[in-house]
Amino acid sequence: MRIVCPFCGERELGEFTYLGDAKSARPAAGASEDEVFDYVYMRDNVAGPMSEYWYHGGGCRAWLKVARNTLTHEISSVEPAAGVGAKQAAR
């Protein structure tokens, strides 16, 4: 598996660290216990195309949003995660 970093180009997997599913969003501060529980502990554990966060610690140290198929490891897109990096990439 190689990931094409939008800032650094194609790099080997060892440069990246995995966080997990990018779909789940942190609940608002006033959210119910059920919502927080769901966010922290429950997983869709997708078999197929999944959107996920990777950190390019061995390169530009940007957080990336990668679309990858968990059945085949095929990567269909890589984009900067929301935040300052995304704005710089768009420039």
Plot region of 75 (φ>0 → left; ψ -120 to 50 → alpha; else → beta): beta
Q: Is residue 73 a contact point for other proteins (CB under 8 A)?
A: yes
**How many CA atoms lie within 13 Å of 54's alpha carbon, on the beta-carbon side?**
28
Cα(21)–Cα(11) distance, integer angstroms: 21
Piece of the chain touching other proteins by CB under 8 A; list 24-32, 70-78, 80-88: 70-78
41 to 60: interface string for other proteins, x by CB under 8 A? xxxxxxx--x-x--------
Q: Is residue 17 a contact point for other proteins (CB under 8 A)?
A: yes
Burial bucket for residue 15 (CB in 10 Å: 0-12, 13-18, 19+): middle
Q: Which of 37, 49, 77, 89 binds other proteins (CB under 8 A)?
A: 37
Q: Kindly list the residues in this chain that would bind other proteins in the complex (CB under 8 A).
A: 1, 12-14, 17-18, 20-21, 37, 40-47, 50, 52, 68, 70-73
